[in-house]
């Protein structure tokens, strides 16, 4: 998979589509509403038009074409990521789609915060730089350069990152949480025996062992809630220093999923700053 910063706008849209299948139908309905409402405000729009990259009449034509496309190809746009991406996020049509997404994010209290975060950061309609580029006509709509996703992630708390991670990999949660429990139990047992090569300089050994015990207790008492609810997953496993302990185990989990490049990319992007960087990571022989 290409790094997000190297993707074209349609490729980014195609990347988002399968991650949030339940969110695509309401998004399409909203874009259709935006496109069809233009006719009702045509006189006002024409009188206040100040964009330089297309005329008001071109905008009206674009809206009519987009509304017609969504109306007649809705099922295909919902089921096919490529059709969704290259129909709505390529060429002039992308301008209307991004405009609609900006309204969707700013005027609706969206209950799915990970979807909102991804829309805002990956497609990035709501940035001043992007708006200015549309206003002065200097930016091609298919080559919009968003800020690096990692910059946006740095503004998120660890709990927010954990919630987003859970949402992106729901089918991974049961095997992943089970692995965290098995590994934490083995590490705790070895810590009690004094046979584990502990190397983290940022957390004292006794505190790390206590944190392992908390992770084990939380999973044993709340296993089903942790695997099914992203907020509980985040709160029970990623609160304060527990996150450091869990992240080290997550990177061990990657050793069992070496072919899963998407999972690897997400773990590195979201949590690499919490990983043990002492130079002597715990080996699988102690797990």
pLDDT of the residue at 258: 67
**Going residue by residue through the chain (287 aa), what tens digit of pLDDT does each one get?**
566 667 888 888 988 898 888 889 989 998 998 888 777 667 667 766 777 778 888 989 999 999 999 999 999 999 999 999 999 998 889 888 888 887 777 655 555 667 777 787 777 543 333 444 333 333 333 332 323 344 456 667 888 889 888 887 888 899 999 999 999 999 999 998 888 777 777 889 999 999 999 999 999 999 999 999 999 999 999 999 999 899 989 888 888 876 666 777 677 767 776 765 444 333 333 33
pLDDT of the residue at 66: 94
In degrees, rounded to 5, the angle at the alpha carbon of residue 257 between the alpha carbons of residues 255 and 260 is 130
pTM metric for this prediction: 0.49
pLDDT of the residue at 152: 54
pLDDT of the residue at 283: 37
pLDDT of the residue at 4: 67
Domain boundaries, the chain: 4-152, 159-286
What is the rounded radius of gyration, in angstroms, for the C-alpha atoms of the chain? 23
58-63 own/partner pairs: CB under 8 Å, 24+ apart: 58/92, 59/96, 62/92, 62/93, 62/95, 62/96, 63/34, 63/35, 63/36, 63/38, 63/39, 63/96
Give kind and range of the element (H or E) at residue 232: helix 230-237
Answer whether 283's CB lies under 8 Å from 274's CB: no
Answer whether 56's CB lies under 8 Å from 46's CB: yes
pLDDT of the residue at 143: 31
pLDDT of the residue at 108: 57
pLDDT of the residue at 199: 75
Tens of pLDDT along 47-80? 667 777 788 889 899 999 999 999 999 999 999 9
11 Cα distance to chain centroid: 15
């Amino acid at each position: 998979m290409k790094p997000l910063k190297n993707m074209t706008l349609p490729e980014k849209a195609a990347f988002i589509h399968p991650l949030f299948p339940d969110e695509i139908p309401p998004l399409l309905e909203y874009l259709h509403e935006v496109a069809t409402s233009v006719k009702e405000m045509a006189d006002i729009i024409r009188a206040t038009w100040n964009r330089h990259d297309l005329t008001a009449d071109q905008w009206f034509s674009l809206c009519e074409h987009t509304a017609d496309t969504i109306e007649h190809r809705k099922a295909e746009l919902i089921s096919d990521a490529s059709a969704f991406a290259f129909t709505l996020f390529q060429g002039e049509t992308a301008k209307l789609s991004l405009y609609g997404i900006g309204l969707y994010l700013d005027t609706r209290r969206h209950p799915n915060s990970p979807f909102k975060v991804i829309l805002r950061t990956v497609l990035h309609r709501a940035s001043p730089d992007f708006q200015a580029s549309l206003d002065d006509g200097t930016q091609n709509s298919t080559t919009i350069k968003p800020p690096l996703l990692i910059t946006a992630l740095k503004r998120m708390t660890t709990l927010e990152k954990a919630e987003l991670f859970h949402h992106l990999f729901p089918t991974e949660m049961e095997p992943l949480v089970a692995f965290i429990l098995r590994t934490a139990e083995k590490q705790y047992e070895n810590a009690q025996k004094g046979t584990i090569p502990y190397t983290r300089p940022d957390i004292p050994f006794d505190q790390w062992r206590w944190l392992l015990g908390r992770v084990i207790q939380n999973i044993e008492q709340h296993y089903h809630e942790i695997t099914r609810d992203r907020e509980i997953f985040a709160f029970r496993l990623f609160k304060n220093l527990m996150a450091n302990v869990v992240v080290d185990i997550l990177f061990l989990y990657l050793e069992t999923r070496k072919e899963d490049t998407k999972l690897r990319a997400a773990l590195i992007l979201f949590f690499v700053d919490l990983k043990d960087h002492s130079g002597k990571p715990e080996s699988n022989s102690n797990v």
